[in-house]
Amino acid sequence: MRKINCIIIDDEPLALDLVEGYVNKTPFLELKGKCLSALEALQIMNTEKIDLVFSDIQMPDLNGIDFSKTLSADTKVIFTTAFKEYAFDGFKVDAVDYLLKPFNYQEFLKAANKAQERINKPEEKRSGIAADDFIFVKSEYKQVKINLNEVYYFEGLKDYIKIWISSQPKPILTLMSLKTLEQELPEEKFMRVHRSFIIALGKIESVERSQVVINKERITIAEQYKNKFQEFVENKSFN
């Protein structure tokens, strides 16, 4: 079984060193970097395939919760923090686990094993959504049916998502994170291209440099998603 590539993010050097020691003791983990900020981690993730992130939550510039929302569904997160009040936020963004400082190696290993199981276990086909081609979302105190073949794109706005569809001019607003939604959508039809956008691949009108045009709107393809998107374009290209 292959090793799991991981990085550590914490603005406290002593905390970084502690987790680094735990990672080095764990045979199935491969440390690819340790970072004092989430912005520093993004630089590594632009060049390395990272399976697992150990991240503090309370950090300058970009906190761990917001950082986790920018990651693809393939990258798992274990939060490490001294503040237990963040636990609910951690699980709301589908973190693998939540380690409350100070934690020992036994607690660390238990969380790492959970991550290994998630990463190596083939995911079941997503909730029957691909077969049904629709989902229900809560909007304005009711459950609204969304036909996926009508969706142009999903736009993240803090804890909300705007769903832009062809059957109406105004977006449908629902309380949900893009990361949670991304894990439920059929990946052959939708792709995340930016921390704030998941697009319907079948609705792409053109690709221009680092942007896609959908329904006359230009959506930027963020650096960390470019390789995956370019692979999709090349597989569909005849020249």
Q: Distances in Å between the alpha carbon of 233 and those of 73, 125, 206?
A: 20, 24, 11
pLDDT at 177: 85
- For residues 88-104, one letter each, b for 16 or more C-beta atoms within 10 angstroms of the residue's C-beta and e for the rest, the string is ebbeebbbbbbbeeebe
Q: What is the model's pLDDT at position 89? A: 52
Helix (H, G, I), strand (E, B) or coil at 183: helix
CA–CA distance, 75 with 98 (Å, rounded to integer): 16
CA 85 to chain centre: 22
Give the per-residue pLDDT at 27.
95
Amino acid residing at 186: P
For 35-57, the DSSP string reads ESSHHHHHHHHTTS---EEEE-S
Alpha-carbon distance of 127 to 195, in angstroms, equals 24
H or E element: which one contains 4?
strand 4-9
By CB atoms closer than 10 A (0-12, 13-18, 19+), residue 53 is buried
Q: Across the chain, what does the average pLDDT equal?
A: 86
**Per-residue model confidence (pLDDT) at position 132:** 53
The secondary structure of 79-98 as a DSSP string is: EEES-GGGHHHHHHTT-SEE
197, two tokens: 């956008």
Instruction: Please report the pLDDT score of residue 63 as a whole number.
Output: 86
**What are the structural domains, with CATH classification, of the chain?**
4-120 (3.40.50.2300), 129-236 (2.40.50.1020)
Per-residue pLDDT tens over the stretch 112-142: 999 998 888 754 444 444 445 888 888 887 8
- Burial bucket for residue 67 (CB in 10 Å: 0-12, 13-18, 19+): buried
Instruction: Determine the Cα–Cα distance for residues 11 and 25; give it in Å rounded to an integer.
Output: 22
- The pLDDT, as a whole number, for residue 46 is 85
Residues 6+ apart with CB under 8 A from 157: 196
Supply the pLDDT for residue 134.
85
Tell me the whole-structure pTM to 2 decimals: 0.54
Give residue 38's identity as a one-letter amino acid code: A
Q: What is the pLDDT of residue 208?
A: 87
- Rounded to the nearest angstrom, the gap between the alpha carbon of residue 16 and the centroid of all alpha carbons in its chain is 22
Low-confidence ranges of the chain (pLDDT < 70): 1, 84-93, 122-132, 237-239
Given this model, what pLDDT does residue 209 score?
82
* Segment (H or E) for 231: helix 226-236
